[in-house]
Amino acid sequence: MASKTASKETSFLIVGAGTFGLSTALHLTNRGYKNIVVLDRGDDVPSAFSAGNDVNKIVRADYEDPFYATHALKAIHAWRNSPIFSPHYHHSGYLVTSSASAPSKATSHVTRLITALSSHPDQPKSSVAVLHTPEDVQSTVPHLTGPLTGWSGYYNSNAGYAQAAPALKALYTELLARGVEFRLGDSGHAVSILPDTQTAKAFPAPRPYIRTADGKIHCADLVILALGAHTARLLSVAGAQLTAKAWAVGHVRVSAQEAAHLRGLPVVNCRDVGFFFEPVPAGDEHGQEWLIKVCAHGGGYTNRGRAATSLPPWQAEENKAIPVEDEMLMRRLLRETLPELAKRRLERRFMCWCADTADSEYVIDYVPGYRKGLVLAGGDSGHGFKMLPVFGGWVVDLVERGQQTEKRWRWKTGDSDGQEELGWRVGGVRDIREVQRMGDGAEATRPRL
C-alpha cells in the first residue's frame, strides 16, 4: 500500500471478532471495503472469550461527559432503528440510584448525571424524573417490592438494554452475508505478531504479519487488533495502557409467571451495590424459564499475581467462580428490590473481562513502530458494548484520515495502573488471586497468595 490511508482496494485483517472487531467489519463494509478477514480464537461467534458474550448489557446515554452522551445517543438511535440491531434492543428505561450507605462519591455522581442529562441538547427533555425518596422510586418502578432503604436517584426513559450475545450473532450473520471471511478456533487464534515491537522498525517487511495457532501466517495492508482484555497477550506493549479487569456476573432463574410480573422492568442500577435487568428467556428446552442477570459493582479485579501485566485466565473455564463478597452484594441488591429472589441459587456465574484504561477512554490509533500497518481498537473500561452499532465507524475514520484527530483516543504512553480519579469509579481494585470465589455448585476457589 503506497499511501498511508486506506483505499477501497486495501485489505484488512481484524484480529478479534468481539464487540469492536465485528463493529469495525460492519463499518468497513458500509463504506464499500470488500477485502476483510476476521480472526478469533473462539470456535463460534460470539466467542467464549468475548466480554460481549453475555445475556444483556445496559444501553444508555447517561454520561457526565457530553462527548460520550452524544455518541451514545447516536448508538441508541441505531439500536432502535437498525434492522440488524433493533430486534435485540429493549427500550426499557433506566433507574439509577444510590443506597443509604453509599459513599458520597456515588451519590454525587448520580447528582451530576441528572445535571448532565438535563443540560444535554439532544437528550429528550421529558425523559428524566428525579426520585428523592424510596417512595418515589417505588411509585416509578412498581415492580420493586423491597424496602429500597435510603434509595434516591432518577429514572431515564430514554435508555434500555441489548440482548448482547444475540446481537453479536446477528451482526456475525450479516457480515457473512456481506462476504466477510472468518477464521475461528485454531485457525483464528493469533499467537504472535511478526515482527514484534522490538524489531518492527528494523524489519524490512512493509507490514505486520499475524501467526495463528495452526502455524499459518496472515497478512493484510492493515491489521486491526480488537482483542479486548486479551490485547496485551499478543501486543505486550499495550499492557501499559490497557489493563485486563473483571467484574462478577450471576443469574437468578424465575418462572414464566414471575417473568410476566417483571415485564417492562427498567434496568435497575444502584451505583454502590450492583445492577440487574428484566428477565429474558433462559433458552432451556421447554422454554418455560427465564433468567435475571445480576452484576456487582466495585473497582474490579485484575489477574496479575507477580506479573507486571494483568491478563484474563487462559481458559474460559477458570472464570466460572465469582468472589464471595460480590455474591453478597448481589443478594443485598435483590433483598432491597425483589426480596423473594434474594435466596435463590445464583447460577451461570462468571467473571467478565474487559480492557480498562486509567482515564476510561478508548485507544483507537496506530501502534507506534509498524508504519501505520497496525491499529489498536480497545480500552472500553466496561462501558463499550452500547457502542456496538457505531464504534467501527471511529476505526474506519482513523484509517481513512491516516491519523487520530480525536486526542482522547490516541495511543497512550502513561501507565494505566494508577486509576485516575474518575467521578464514576466506586471501590478499589484487587487481584482475583487474592479473593475467595464460589462457583455454581458452591465449590470454593481458595485465594492463591
Q: Is 90 in the site for ligand FAD (CB under 6 A)?
A: no
**Rounded to an integer, what distance in angstroms lies between the CA atom of residue 60 and that of residue 354?**
18
Amino acid at the residue 308: A
Q: Is 16 in the site for ligand FAD (CB under 6 A)?
A: yes
Q: Is 208 in the site for ligand FAD (CB under 6 A)?
A: no
Minimum distance of ligand FAD from residue 206's CB (angstroms):
23
Minimum distance of ligand FAD from residue 399's CB (angstroms):
17
Q: Is 375 in the site for ligand FAD (CB under 6 A)?
A: no
Minimum distance of ligand FAD from residue 245's CB (angstroms):
7
Q: Is 223 in the site for ligand FAD (CB under 6 A)?
A: no
Q: Is 57 in the site for ligand FAD (CB under 6 A)?
A: yes
Can you give the chain as a three-state secondary structure string? Answer: CCCCCCCCCCCEEEECCCHHHHHHHHHHHHCCCCCEEEEECCCCCCCCCCCCCCCEEEECCCCCCHHHHHHHHHHHHHHHHCCCCHHHEECCCEEEEECCCCCHHHHHHHHHHHHHHHHCCCCCHHHEEEECCHHHHHHHCCCCCCCCCCCEEEEECCCEEEEHHHHHHHHHHHHHHCCCEEEEHHHCCEEEEECCCCCCCCCCCCCCEEEECCCCEEECCEEEECCHHHHHHHCHHHHHCCEEEEEEEEEEEEEHHHHHHCCCCCEEEECCCEEECCCEECCCCCCCEEEEEEEECCCCEECCCCCCCCCCCCCHHHHCEEEHHHHHHHHHHHHHHCHHHCCCCCEEEEEEEEEECCCCCCEEEECCCCCCCEEEEECCCCCCHHHCCCHHHHHHHHHHHCCCCCHHHCCCCCCCCCCCCCCCCCCCCEEHHHCCEEECCCCEECCCC
Choose which of 42, 208, 239, 298 interacts with ligand FAD (CB under 6 A).
42
Q: What are phi and psi of 90, to 5 degrees?
A: -125, 120
Minimum distance of ligand FAD from residue 378's CB (angstroms):
5
Choose which of 13, 14, 17, 232 interacts with ligand FAD (CB under 6 A).
17
Q: Is 249 in the site for ligand FAD (CB under 6 A)?
A: yes
Choose which of 10, 21, 221, 374 interacts with ligand FAD (CB under 6 A).
21
Distance of CA 251 to the CA centre of its chain: 18
Q: Is 389 in the site for ligand FAD (CB under 6 A)?
A: no
Cis bond before residue 46 (omega within 30° of 0): yes
| Count of chain residues binding ligand FAD (CB under 6 A) | 40
Cβ atoms of 380 and 410 closer than 8 Å = no
Choose which of 14, 28, 41, 69 interacts with ligand FAD (CB under 6 A).
41
Cβ atoms of 297 and 178 closer than 8 Å = no
Report which residue's Cβ sits closest to ligand FAD.
Answer: 18
Minimum distance of ligand FAD from residue 160's CB (angstroms):
11
The smaller minimum CB distance to ligand FAD, of residues 60 and 253, is found at 60
Amino acid at the residue 19: T
Q: Is 298 in the site for ligand FAD (CB under 6 A)?
A: no
Q: Is 352 in the site for ligand FAD (CB under 6 A)?
A: yes
Q: Is 20 in the site for ligand FAD (CB under 6 A)?
A: yes
Q: Which stretch binds ligand FAD (CB under 6 A): 43-51, 215-223, 324-332, 412-420?
A: 43-51
Q: Which stretch binds ligand FAD (CB under 6 A): 100-108, 112-120, 214-222, 384-392?
A: 384-392
Choose which of 12, 49, 68, 276 interacts with ligand FAD (CB under 6 A).
49
Q: Is 268 in the site for ligand FAD (CB under 6 A)?
A: no
Per-residue x/- track, 156-195, ligand FAD (CB under 6 A):
--------------------------------xxx-----
Choose which of 242, 354, 358, 396 interacts with ligand FAD (CB under 6 A).
354
Q: Is 154 in the site for ligand FAD (CB under 6 A)?
A: no
Minimum distance of ligand FAD from residue 229's CB (angstroms):
6
* Apex 294 CA angle, 290 and 295, nearest 5: 155
Minimum distance of ligand FAD from residue 444's CB (angstroms):
21
Q: Is 239 in the site for ligand FAD (CB under 6 A)?
A: no
The smaller minimum CB distance to ligand FAD, of residues 138 and 156, is found at 156
Q: Is 383 in the site for ligand FAD (CB under 6 A)?
A: yes
Minimum distance of ligand FAD from residue 139's CB (angstroms):
26
Of the CA atoms within 13 Å of residue 289, those in its CB half-sphere come to: 10
Write out the residues near ligand FAD by the rule CB under 6 A. Answer: 15-21, 39-42, 47, 49-52, 57-58, 188-190, 226-228, 230, 234, 247, 249, 295, 352-355, 378, 380, 382-386
